[in-house]
Structure formats: C-alpha cells, structure tokens
Amino acid sequence: MENKTNKNLQSLFANVFVLCFLAFVIFSSLNNKSIERTTFVIEKGMSLNSLTNVLYEEGIIGNKSFFKYSVALRGLAGNIPTGTFAIEGNISNAKLIRTIFDEGPIRIKIMLPEGLRSEKILEKIENILETQNRGLLTDSSFIEQFGIEATSLEGYLFPDTYYFFQDMMIEEVLTIMINQFWNNFNQTLIDRSNELELTIHEVVTLASIIEGEALFDSERRTISSVYHNRLRKNIKLQADPTIQYLFLDGPKTLETKHLTISSPYNTYIHYGLPPGPINNPGIKSIEAALYPEDTDYLYFVAKGDGYHVFSTNQSDHLKAKREYKKQKRIQ
C-alpha cells in the first residue's frame, strides 16, 4: 500500500513538473531584452524548422527548441501562415505564436474616397503596397470574370476603407474592391436598374457624373433628376466632369475651348451618356442615379460654396450664372 502511494506521489510530482516546464517554455520571455518593433517575412511553404531559424537569426527568439515545442503543443506545426509580421516588446512564446497564427500578417489601412479615378486608386495603392499591374484595369479576361460588361474597371473599384496585407498582389487587391462593389450593388438595385430600363454600366456611368458634381449628399438626388430629365427630353447632358475626365489632372474650371474637344466623353457635343464611368462612385451616388428626385429641373450652376442653384428653364439658369459671376468678382 505504501509503495502504491509513493508511486502515485511520484507520478503526481512528475506531472506537475512537466506542466511547470511547459508553462515556462510557453510563457517565458524569448529574450532577456525588450525587442524593438521588428518585422519578419514567412515565405510560402516554409516549414516550422525554417520559421524557427528565421526568428532565431532575427534575434526574436533565443531558444529554438522552446519555440518549436510551443508551436507543436498547439498542433500548429503543419499550418504555417505566410506574409509579413511585426512584433515588439518583451514577448513570450505564447504571444509570438498568437501574433503569427491568430493575429496574422500586417494589414495596411488604405482609405479610398468616392470619386477617385482608377489610375489614382492604383497610384495610391502602389505607393503603399509593393505591387503593381495597371494593365489589369483594361484586361478583358480579368474584367469578364466578375460579370462586368465593360472594357475598363473604371467605376467598379468601390470606394471604402480597406485593410490589405502588405504582400498582396494587385489581382487580390482589385478582386476585393470589385467584390465590394457587387456587395453594395445588390439585387434590389439591379431590379431598380431594370425598372428604369438602364444597364448596370449606364447606372454606374450616371452615378460617376453625379459623384463628380455633388459635394453634399442633400443634392445628389436633385442633380440626378436634372440628368434624368435631360436624357428623357434628349437634351445634351453638358456635364463638366465628363470633360475634366479627359485630363488626368484636369482643370477645375473649364474654358470655352474645352467644350469643343473631340471625344465621346464630351457631353457638350454628344447626346446621351458617355461610353463609361469617369470615376469610381460611392453608394450614395449610385442610389441617387437610381432614385432621382421628382423635379422639372434641367439646369444647375455652382454657387461657389459647394451647393448649386437649380433651374427649370434657360432664362433662370443664365440669371443664376450671372449672379454667381457677380459674387465671384466681389470675393
């Protein structure tokens, strides 16, 4: 009986020792000094041994065996993620493992406001992420796989705040943005497009013009009504943003010479909508294009403060233009 009790005690002590050792391995500090913010890259296909060597060579861990045991104990040895990771401070094996396996690679926040052209969006992305391929903007095989009936991605890169992995390829980035477009342009909006007898491409094109004109949400549906009324009456849209689109960094104020530029996007000389979107509109402009305010307005002119004066006839419109020019001279 006494021998059995001794064996039980020995087994208990052994188990306690093992648990204490494992706790030490997992939760002990990896180094005697605090680590400044350090980034490291885990390549695709990297094994646990290779990862351990990278961390050791970077001075992030001081004991290879302890780290490998900690990973193995969580059953993660065969599930090594890829990407660029960052750590800092006096961290334990447990914290390092959470960083790699739970929190994941570094994500970079990119804010893309409404109304940016696709070239500007890619320029912004290229300045932050190490990826580029502008040819995809007009790559028909890439565009078609998303059900987009257009020759360009202009209008379909949905403006939003995104969190991209640092080592993402441009194909992945564009895919996320296009999917976000379709997440917003839902079946309800598709049904409304059909009701108005407009294609999705025509809706996005009109929405992009509204985006180029409207500064305040309260005016989007009113501006939309002007263009709907003009389209219905077969009046040229005469939308300044469609001409400004012809210049990558075009003039904010158009001159008379700009109004005669030969281009299918020049709505001062061509009837109807231009061939495609002139920027990437947000959901409020898309909704405004689909749900215009019920008005008889055919004209509007900027007041200089972001708002517009709307008119139903040319006489009142010209009067509003003269008033704006008068106020501009006074200022």
Same domain, yes or no: 33 and 92: yes
Q: Does the structure show a pLDDT above 60 at 301?
A: yes
* Judgement on whether residues 60 and 139 belong to the same structural domain of the protein: no
- Taking the C-alpha atoms of residue 222 and residue 291, their distance in angstroms, rounded to an integer, is 10
**Does one domain contain both 207 and 121?**
no
CA dihedral of 277, 279, 282, 285, whole degrees rounded to 10: -60
144 with 233, same domain: the answer is no
Percentage of residues in the chain having pLDDT higher than 70: 88
177 and 220 share one domain: no
Of 122, 157, 184, the domain-final residue: 184
pLDDT of residue 147: 95
Residues 192 and 209 in one domain: yes
- Residue whose pair of structure tokens reads 């010479």 in the numeric block: 257
User: In the listed set 159, 184, 209, which residue is the last one of a domain according to the structure?
Assistant: 184
160-212 residue pLDDT tens: 999 998 778 899 999 999 999 999 999 999 999 999 999 999 999 999 999 99
Task: Looking at the structure, tell me whether residues 150 and 124 fall in a common domain.
Answer: yes
In contact, 265 and 242? CB cutoff 8 Å? yes
End of a domain among 160, 184, 208?
A: 184
Q: Which residue has the higher pLDDT, 65 or 194?
A: 194
| Per-residue H/E/C for 100-147 | HHHHCCCEEEEECCCCCCHHHHHHHHHHHCCCCCHHHHHCHHHHHCCC
Kindly report the average pLDDT of the chain as a whole number: 87
pTM here is 0.80
Pair 113, 163 in one domain: yes
Structure token digits, residue 278: 């002139």
Residues 230 and 191 in one domain: yes
User: Is the residue at 50 inside a domain?
Assistant: yes
Residue 215 pLDDT greater than 50, yes or no: yes
* pLDDT level of residue 3 (50, 70, 90 thresholds): low
Q: Is residue 306 part of a domain?
A: no
Is position 323 within any domain? no
Do 133 and 161 lie in a common domain?
yes
Please report whether residue 169 resides in a domain: yes
User: Are residues 282 and 159 in contact, defined by beta-carbon separation less than 8 angstroms?
Assistant: yes
Q: Do 286 and 242 belong together in one domain?
A: yes
Section 129-148 average pLDDT? 90
Mean pLDDT of 236-263: 89
CATH number at residue 63: 3.30.1490.480
What confidence tens digit (pLDDT) does each residue in 91-124 have? Answer: 788 888 999 999 888 888 999 999 999 999 999 9
| Domain, as residue range, for 195 | 187-297
11, part of any domain: no
Q: Is residue 23 predicted with pLDDT exceeding 50?
A: no
Q: In the numeric block, which tokens belong to residue 151? A: 């020759």
192 & 171 share domain: no
| pLDDT at residue 84 is higher than 90 | no
Q: What is the count of structural domains for the chain?
A: 3
Q: Does residue 254 fall inside a structural domain? A: yes
pLDDT tens for each residue of 36-50: 888 888 988 899 999
CA–CA dist 135, 32 (Å, integer)? 50
Q: What is the dihedral of CA 245, 251, 255, 256, to 10 degrees?
A: -20
